[in-house]
Structure 1
Amino acid sequence: MPLYTTHLPQWKKDEVGKIKELSEQYKLTGLVDLHGIPAKQLQEMRRDLRGSAVLKMTRNTLIEHAFSQLGGDISEINSYIDGQSALIYTNENPFKLYKKLKETMTKMVAKPGDIAPEDISVSKGPTAFPPGPIVGQLQQAGIPAAIESGKVVIRENKTVVKAGEEISAKMADVLAKLDVRPIDVGLNLQIACYEGTFFEPKTLDIDENKYFNNVVLAAQQAFNLSVNAAYPTTTTAGAIIGKAVREARNLGVEAAVYEKDVVEMIIGRAQREMLALRAIVE
């Protein structure tokens, strides 16, 4: 046992042992960031995960000790520890876990110093505020506000904070009063180790509708390629034969080959050409 673990208090040794036990028990060991999650929301998230995942909150140093002892690939999780980390365990695949965690996200009002995750805008239109100091507060925050028909209105759509910018105390106060909730709060997955393979959030963040549409498009393109290349499969054989029949009939008509399957089409074409010629002559 490493020296730094030998001299740990018993409760810390127990914590390290529990982390190792859970990591060996479940197929997936993940690291999530708890930063900024209020206690009430955290309890709700834990309740939502019950039955599908286990959330283990402990000190970062104990997490590092546990994975250092485990060694192997899983020890690389230590390099992703940042901020207020916690461990999450499940037997589900990482894509299902990521989707589940996204569903636990809630929108919260911004606090001074928060970084805007995306452009923050306020919409044109009336507010719930009566005329008063709020007009000046909005204007000082760069929001075009005025009084119209006894109500405070925002005169135009306005982007007040760009993505990646820090939200000032004045802006946070105004956004809260307007009930603009720009901050996503939830269990942010930092890394997932599933059966020895590591998955980062950018890999797991899949637009399912877009992915499905791409699969459908690929299937359509493969079908068309098979038909046009006359490469028969159980799916495309009927379409290839149908295409060949249509092309053979068209060739028979163009070449005036008097076969029983095309003779009526040849006569019909001749009649149409005759009528067109008569219309020109007359």
Structure 2
Amino acid sequence: MRESINQKKKLVVELAAELSKAERVALVSLNRLPARQLKSLREDEGLDLRISSKNIVKRALEKADKGLEKLIDYFKGSCALLFPKKDVFKLSIELSKKREPAFAKRGMTVKKDVVLDEGPTQFMPGELMTELTEMGVKVSPKGGKITIMEPSIIVKRGEQVSKQVADLLFKLGVKPVTTGLELVAAYDNGSIFTSKELDIDVEEFMNNLLNAHAGALNLAYNTNMVNKLTIKLLLRRAFSQASNLAREAGFLTKSNVNEVLAMANARAGALVKQIKWEVKG
């Protein structure tokens, strides 16, 4: 018994020493993580994953001090520690890429709408067709198979999956959720970041960034703000406006001489036709 206690104390001291030296520490949830996937993640050389009892981890965080004890507030269920070499936002993106599609289980809260896509299923009309209809899914028997007539949302983002829906999705082979290490909170050089702050949709972020850039560029262009991004656009517009003004005024330059002469020739031709018509009249 005493030997076991001494061993635990040693583990706390060793883990606390590592935590004290670390610039970044991430707290990850192991909840609902399949054993096969956990084994694969533990063998991943790119992830420095430490799994220990909750009490040992908590005591090590308290002993390490320097603000790491704040991570204890985010403990929920089964958790582990990661010692990332890169910043925690890049870690969040990396972990999201390692997540794997999985069947939804009863009680799970989905992070996005669960949609049944339009198209045929492998099932013949029967009880399943009735079940789908009761859920508001438009179906029709075509070619001896149940066919979903249009995309249908059966669980909305933020809602929990019921047993009936979980069973249905399993039958249809639909895997609407993903499993993997879930970043709960992270310490990065004195700052604590929560899962909401770290959960970045890269595609959405890039689209927002591009839209913001386009809006700023448009505003700068329309207000004649000169910078390295607008200078060429503004000069091109100024040149176009000056060229139009010179052409309309009949002012000859090297760049518009042919165009102005062609315009003058066209006007002269029109005037000649008008004079001939008036003489005949």
TM range (shorter): 0.7 to 0.9
Cα 1:28–1:280 shift into 2, 3 Å: farther
SS in 2 for 1:90: coil
Secondary structure of residue in 2 paired with 1:72: coil
Which residue number corresponds to residue 41 of structure 1?
Answer: 37
Q: Select between 76-85 and 106-115 the one with higher mean Cα deviation.
A: 106-115
Aligned with 1:225 (options 203, 220, 223): 220
Moved more, 27-36 or 195-204: 195-204
CA distance in structure 1 between the partners assigned to 2:132 and 2:211 by the alignment: 49
Shift of 1:31: 0.6
- Could you tell me how far apart the structure 2 residues matched to 1:218 and 1:34 are? 39
The 1-side partners of 2:204 and 2:27 are apart by 27
Give the Å deviation of 1:130.
4.7
Query: Structure 2 CA distance, aligned partners of 1:262 and 1:122?
Result: 62
Contact residue 220 and residue 230 of structure 2 kept, 8 A: no
* Structure 1 partner of 2:6: 10
Q: Which runs of 5+ in 1 are unaligned?
A: 1-7
Q: Could you tell me which residue of structure 2 aligns to residue 170 of structure 1?
A: 164
- The CA deviation string for residues 237-277 of structure 1, in whole angstroms up to 9 with x for no partner, is 66666555554444433444455665544323322333455
Distance (whole Å) between structure 2 residues aligned to residue 113 and residue 218 of structure 1:
41
The equivalent residue for 1:102 is 96
* Distance in structure 1 (CA, Å) of the matches to 2:221 and 2:138: 60
Matched length:
274
Mapped to 2, the partners of 1:172 and 1:231 lie a distance apart of 58
Q: How far apart are 1:216 and its partner, in Å?
A: 8.6
Question: Residues 141 and 274 (structure 1 numbering): CA distance in 2 closer, same or farther, change over 3 Å?
Answer: same
Structure 1 distance, partners of 2:57, 2:198, is 23
Q: CA deviation at 1:185?
A: 1.1
Q: TM-score, normalised by structure 2?
A: 0.77
Q: Unmatched 5+ residue regions in structure 2?
A: none
Letter matched to residue 13 of structure 2: G
Give distance in 2, aligned partners of 1:34 and 1:77: 16
CA distance in 1, matches of 2:253, 2:87: 62
Percent of matched pairs sharing the same residue: 27
TM-score (norm 1): 0.76
Contact persistence 1:138–1:145 (CA under 8 A)? yes
Letter in 2 for 1:96: K
Q: Which moved more, 1:108-117 or 1:136-145?
A: 136-145
SS of aligned partner of 2:213: helix
